[in-house]
Structure 1
């Protein structure tokens, strides 16, 4: 095997819509699934699972390392590591599994087995494929599936040249089962480690939440914290917005009211970012205004993983109109 870890995976830059079709267009589309990006090194008797940033995940996912060791061929694969649970991809379960090692990891592998959604091959039987066009690498990958009669935990990422099929993958129904959006790739493109040579379009939807807090000043908020009241009357954080536009700062600064110690979040601490331990500096406001926001489909137990975009106040809705998360 000529490639060795770490191999920096090829990345993508975000776009806001599917690129328009052109006469000479050579684009194909793949599902973007909700998981961990990994590079898998397989050789007879040995398997290694590398994270996007180069960490060794083999101990956390021993069933994947064993599957790679049992593949019977030397190959380097680019894939998304996922856990499937209750009819959808379960990102929180994947996160929990990534922290386990030893006997705990083996137990998790039995109870919540991981799978690999594969979309590229970087080396096969000593031949490095980085300079080969995507359509050739895809053929190699498909042939590997056929020749090895691969099944779970191996899965082949769906790919299509049909824009309407790709547009269908952006439907919220796909988001509900863990398909975050669409990857857009050129069939003639070589593999560029570490470079943003692909495009990605996240599926988006709109929703509503109660404004329960802000970063910055109440009279000039930088971003808003959104929540929903649960059946017990508690206000649960569901999302944090991206920085507000100048017009939104003026609009919200004129109507938000600071809250006191009676606010459900007055003693709460929230992380500054997903997975971070740094506390977020925020001000509580009276939870009386409903806001509409745009978000992607990455929602974990009622909370949006990525920052959402504030759209407008919903003066036609009250906090009682919102169901719990």
Structure 2
């Protein structure tokens, strides 16, 4: 085994983040990318193997065996940032990718055959042991496309343009394919882990979110615990409307999942902090509206019983 290259990155690495904006940014030196409605993930190629890290830092390699296999074609000591997506009927299927992310190692292979994942790469943090995070985005993008384009699916660079008019066209037309908006970056800026240097323009603040648990009594849950697009850390919704609580109880019945170690799970509730919740099996999706930041209140509009067990 060769010695570790100087500057080689190892997980966990904090990903760069984006600040929501209400209008399309314009100006010199800006780049625009479609924002996929998927599961944020960093891919590490280390010592001949692949390690997949979720946004939270959790290692999810076993959940996406086909992406781990594809990553073996990358040079050692290379780190790519991007979004895992699952396509269904010509659209990005967020519920399906969350089902994949929650799969046990025993189920991952079966789900990979039924709903194969793709990786929409949008940044290159390191290559061959060289830490590229201080390099300008324009240079990182050039190296990303040179690295991935010869490989082909399922690892592919996202489209990018510096033309704001083309970006505006993408913003209006791509929602039909399940693309939720745009990410805007400065060509000359570095990659800053954990910082909100990028901008994101969403087409709507209403999204599908994976239901992973609930608080309150099973028959009339007080709130749902959700995993939102582009994140894997569960959050607690605002209190459910009284009329929705019995229906939520009906749909959650029989789905309770026990924690393997018997330790209560917790999720972030805005204004309260970490609270315990009861977990449920994957397969339930809620239509939610969220505010302008990751920790804003998340309001549940409805539970999409039309999608139960469709993934």
Common topology (TM > 0.5): yes
Shift of 1:126: 1.2
What's the secondary structure of 1:107's corresponding residue? helix
- Report how far residue 178 of structure 1 moved: 1.6
Alignment partner of 2:21 out of 15, 27, 41: 15
Unaligned runs of 5+ in 2: 210-218, 228-234, 245-282, 293-305
By how many angstroms is 1:277 displaced? 7.0
Query: Paired residue for 2:295?
Result: none
Aligned position for 2:187: 187
User: Is this contact kept in 1: 2:75–2:127, CA < 8 A?
Assistant: no
Change (3 A) 1:306 1:134: same
- Residues 143-175 of structure 1: CA distance to partner in whole angstroms, max 9, x if unpaired? 1124xx21111111010011111111222x421
List aligned pairs for 1:242-257, cutoff 5 A: none
- Assess if the C-alpha contact under 8 Å between 1:44 and 1:70 holds in 2: no
Q: Which residue of 2 aligns with 1:101?
A: 104
- Equivalent residue for 1:304, pick from 281, 284, 287: 287
- Equivalent in the alignment of 1:223: none
SS at match of 2:11: coil
Q: Secondary structure at the match of 2:189?
A: coil
Distance change (3 Å), C-alpha of 1:67 and 1:282? same
- The structure with higher relative contact order (CA 8 Å, sep 6+) is 2
Structure 1 residues 269 and 38, CA gap change in structure 2 (3 angstroms)? same
Q: 1:88: which partner in 2?
A: 91
Structure 1 residues 277 and 183, CA gap change in structure 2 (3 angstroms): closer
1:57 deviates by 0.7
Task: Name the CA distance, whole Å, in 1 between partners of 2:182 and 2:63.
Answer: 28
* 1:46 maps to which of 42, 45, 49: 49
Shift of 1:177: 1.3
**2:69 partner SS:** helix
Counterpart secondary structure, 2:119:
strand
Task: Please state how far the C-alpha of 1:274 moved relative to its aligned partner.
Answer: 2.7
Equivalence for 2:69 = 66
Once the two structures are TM-superposed, the CA of residue 136 in structure 1 deviates from its matched residue by 0.6
Q: Structure 2 vs 1, CA of residues 164 and 274 (structure 1 numbering), >3 Å: closer, same or farther?
A: same
SS at 2:192's partner residue? coil
Note the residue ranges of structure 1 that are not aligned, 5 or more in a row: 207-237, 240-266, 286-299, 310-323
Q: Under a length normalisation based on structure 1, what TM-score does the superposition of the two structures give?
A: 0.65
Distance 1:281 1:305 in 2: 11
Residue 218 of structure 1 is matched in structure 2 by: none
SS in 2 for 1:42: strand
2: CA distance between counterparts of 1:273 and 1:103?
Answer: 25
Distance 1:150 1:270 in 2: 48
Instruction: Name the structure 2 match of 1:79.
Output: 82
What residue number does 1:157 align with? Answer: 158
How many residues end up aligned between the 2 structures?
233
Secondary structure, counterpart of 1:169 in structure 2: helix
Between 153-162 and 267-276, the greater mean CA deviation after superposition: 267-276
Which 10-residue stretch deviates more, 273-282 or 5-14? 273-282
Looking at structure 2, the residues matched to 138 and 308 of structure 1 have their Cα atoms a distance apart, in angstroms, of 30
Q: What TM-score do the two structures reach when normalised by structure 2? A: 0.68
Q: Secondary structure at the match of 1:138?
A: helix
Q: What is the distance in 2 between the residues matched to 1:154 and 1:136?
A: 19
